[in-house]
Amino acid sequence: MEALRIYVADDHSVVVAGVRAILQRAHPPMKVVATADSGEALLGLLEGGRCDVLVTDFAMPQRQGRGQDGLRMLQSLRRDYPQLRIVVLTVIDNPSILRAMLELGVHGLVGKISAMEDLAHAIAAVNAGRGYVSADLQAKLDTDADMPTLAGLSAREAEVVRLFADGMSVSEIAQRLHRSVKTISHQKTDAMRKLGIENHSQLYAYARDHGLKP
């Protein structure tokens, strides 16, 4: 049986090594044929080769300004490579962002912290045309109705909070997401209002505690 060809996009070498180790003993056979550590590198792989399944982190660094990350990256991948099977391997566990990923057409979601062993199952499932969400992330989605604070934050607002908590300014976020500074400022303000947050220290703490900050 020919091994499934897997691309892995993650800027943490220990994660890539862990994925390789897991897939080496997987059934059906799976082989990591190429890796990328940035949005630009991922685009280069997809433009120059073929894989059966892409395993990618949600938050990817930009080296030269050409790549993307987060929801915008996933949206671009679904538009430019509609046949590509995508599994997102992530520490993000905010229900709004997880749901937005699924709505964009991501086939699999696997939690990076507690469910790495689910990865081979996720790859096999999406390669066969099925969806897959690891148990830890499914639990977040299932309990979302009991978490009005998180449910009230839109995916775009949550992504602005994530990038702001990563140290980016409003202007930098606007450039990254191709939105106006005014729009980003409003989305950050609206997110803080919805969350009952009064200052940036509280916003950083919220991002850390709710899986918005890697």
Q: Above pLDDT 90, what percent of the chain? A: 35
Task: Tell me if 4-144 shares its fold with 152-209.
Answer: no
Using the predicted structure, report yes or no on whether residue 51 has a pLDDT greater than 60.
Answer: yes
- Residue 41: name the closest of 75, 87, 73 by CA: 73
Q: What is the pLDDT of residues 122-132, one digit of tens each?
A: 999 999 999 99
Q: What is the CATH number of domain 4-144?
A: 3.40.50.2300
Q: Where are the domains of the chain?
A: 4-144, 152-209
Kindly give, in sequence order, each residue whose CB lies less than 8 Å from that of residue 109, ignoring residues fewer than 6 positions away: 87, 88, 90, 98, 101, 102, 122, 132, 133, 134, 137
**What's the rounded mean pLDDT across residues 2-18?**
92
Q: Which CATH number fits domain 152-209: 1.10.10.10, 3.40.50.620, 3.40.50.300, 3.30.413.10?
A: 1.10.10.10
Look at residue 148 in the predicted model and tell me its pLDDT.
Answer: 41
**What's the rounded mean pLDDT across residues 94-120?**
84
Q: What is residue 6's three-state secondary structure?
A: strand
Q: What is the pLDDT of residues 147-179, one digit of tens each?
A: 444 446 777 888 888 888 878 889 988 888 888
Indicate yes or no: pTM above 0.75.
Answer: no
CA–CA separation, 178 and 86 (whole Å): 23
Q: What is the pLDDT of residues 54-98, one digit of tens each?
A: 999 988 776 655 556 688 888 889 999 999 999 999 988 878 788
- The gap between the terminal CA atoms of the chain, to the nearest Å, is 37
**What's the rounded mean pLDDT across residues 134-157?**
71
> With 0-12 CB in 10 A as exposed, 13-18 as middle and 19+ as buried, what is 30?
buried
